[in-house]
Amino acid sequence: MTWNGILDILRTIVDIALVWMMFYYILKNFKNNVKMSLLFKGVLVIIIIKVLSDWLGFTTVGLLLEYVIEWGPLALIIVFQPEIRGALEQLGRSQLLGRHKILTVDEREKLVYELIQTVDYCRKSRIGALIVLERDVSLSDYIDKAKPLYADLTSELLESIFFPNNPLHDGAVIIQGNRISCAGAVFPTSNNIKLNKRLGTRHRAALGIAEETDAISVVVSEETGRISLAVKGELFYNLSLDDARMMLIDELRPKTVDEINDNIDEEDIYEEDN
What is the tens place of the pLDDT at every residue in 19-31? 887 777 666 666 5
Mean pLDDT of 87-99: 51
State the pLDDT at residue 95. Answer: 47
**What are 4-15's pLDDT values in tens digits?**
777 888 888 888
Q: What is the CA radius of gyration of the chain?
A: 23
- From first CA to last CA, the distance across the chain in angstroms is 64
Nearest-angstrom CA–CA distance, 239 and 221: 11
Phi-psi region of 238 (alpha: psi -120 to 50; beta: other; left: phi over 0): left
Pairing of strands 129-133, 172-176: parallel
Nearest of 269, 271, 274 to residue 104 by alpha carbon: 269
Does domain 105-273 fall under CATH 3.40.1700.10? My reply is: yes
SS3 (DSSP) at 185:
strand
- pLDDT > 70? residue 183: yes
Nearest of 95, 29, 25, 101 to residue 259 by alpha carbon: 101
- pLDDT > 50? residue 260: no
**What are 101-117's pLDDT values in tens digits?**
577 888 889 999 999 99
State the pLDDT at residue 84. Answer: 65
Nearest of 203, 177, 179, 180 to residue 192 by alpha carbon: 203
**What are 188-197's pLDDT values in tens digits?**
888 877 787 7
Neighbours of 65 (CB within 10 A): 20
State the pLDDT at residue 268. Answer: 45
Backbone angles phi, psi at 83, to 5 degrees: -70, -40
- 193 within 8 A of 172, measured Cβ to Cβ: no
Q: Please report, for the chain, the start and end positions of each structural domain, with discontinuous segments joined by +.
A: 3-93, 105-273
Mean pLDDT check: name the lowest of 77-81, 133-137, 207-211: 77-81
- pLDDT > 60? residue 256: no
- pLDDT > 50? residue 118: yes
Nearest-angstrom CA–CA distance, 226 and 222: 8
Per-residue pLDDT band for 133 (boundaries 50, 70, 90) equals: very high
State the pLDDT at residue 28. Answer: 63
- 132 within 8 A of 146, measured Cβ to Cβ: no
Neighbours of 131 (CB within 10 A): 24
Amino acid in the structure at residue 61: V
Per-residue pLDDT band for 185 (boundaries 50, 70, 90) equals: very high
- 168 within 8 A of 184, measured Cβ to Cβ: yes
Nearest-angstrom CA–CA distance, 107 and 243: 20
